[in-house]
Amino acid sequence: MAKTPIDALGPPELLRDIAHVLLTPEQIQQRVVELGAEISEAYQGKDLLIIGVLRGVIFFVADLARAITIPASVDFMSISRYGPSERTRGVVRLIKDLEEPIEGRHVLFVEDIIDTGFTLSYILNILRTRHPASLKVCALLDKQSFRLIDLPIAFRGFQIEDHFVVGYGLDYKQRYRNLPFIGVLKPEVYAPPPATPN
């Protein structure tokens, strides 16, 4: 298949903020299909419940759930994180809880990206108190270099370098989610150069 030029991959006002494409739509889809097959085999004959945290993960969950070839339910929760900076947002608050009980069910918690691990650790602690039959993590992207809390990831899409990435659900200030690829955001977009003294 011919390679898609980047200017065909989204609106110009978003593309100009992208330093480079990290994962093309084709690379993402291929890996999602592989993950779906792995998950289907691992949960054969089990009551599988996929849980995601809104909003970024809906793109990944939608594709992953369709790549899973055994019956599975899907549920979502929503949280907010507060803190002085993007990376020290230690306080997590549950905004929307699950619709379904998870006791006795095989829960697969699906994340778009794991960075420090704070968010995941908070959510896993909540889910554990509800006694699922099992609880495992599937993450599309793993930024292992900045992990502060060590967590086992049963199904991993890609391990990536410590860049700020957007697209395929991932945002910066709610933008870029609808790009079909995953790209590295130009640093000047989130860290404007310091004002020059006059």
Binding flag, residue 164, ligand IMP (CB under 6 A): yes
| 18 binds ligand IMP per the rule CB under 6 A | no
**Helix or strand or coil: residue 157?**
strand
Indicate whether 23 belongs to the interface with ligand IMP (CB under 6 A): no
Q: Does 64 bind ligand IMP (CB under 6 A)?
A: no
114 binds ligand IMP (CB under 6 A): yes
The entry of ligand IMP, Mg ion, none near residue 63 (CB within 5 to 8 angstroms by kind) is none
Q: Is residue 170 involved in binding ligand IMP (CB under 6 A)? A: yes
CA 85: distance to chain centroid?
A: 20
Find the farthest-apart pair of alpha carbons in the chain and give their distance in angstroms, rounded: 69
* 24, 73, 116, 144: which one binds ligand IMP (CB under 6 A): 116
Minimum CB distance to ligand IMP, residue 162 (Å): 8
Which x/- pattern, by CB under 5 A, does the window 57-86 give for Mg ion? ------------------------------
d(CA 25, CA 54): 21
Termini Cα distance of the chain: 54
Choose the stretch contacting ligand IMP; rule: CB under 6 A; options: 97-105, 127-135, 161-169, 190-198: 161-169
Kindly state the smallest distance separating residue 20's Cβ from Mg ion, in Å: 22
Query: How many degrees, rounded to 5, is the angle at CA 56 between CA 121 and CA 108?
Result: 50
- 104: region left, alpha or beta (phi > 0 left; psi from -120 to 50 alpha): left
Residues whose CB is less than 8 angstroms from the CB of residue 83 and which lie 6 or more positions away in sequence, other chains included:
89, 90, 91
Q: Is 40 in the site for ligand IMP (CB under 6 A)?
A: no
Q: Is 47 a catalytic residue?
A: no
Note whether 106 and 39 are within 8 A (CB): no
Q: How far is the CB of 156 from Mg ion (least distance, A)?
A: 16
Residues 55 and 169: their CA atoms lie apart, in Å, by 8
The binding site for Mg ion (CB under 5 A) comprises 56
The residues annotated with a catalytic role in the active site are 115
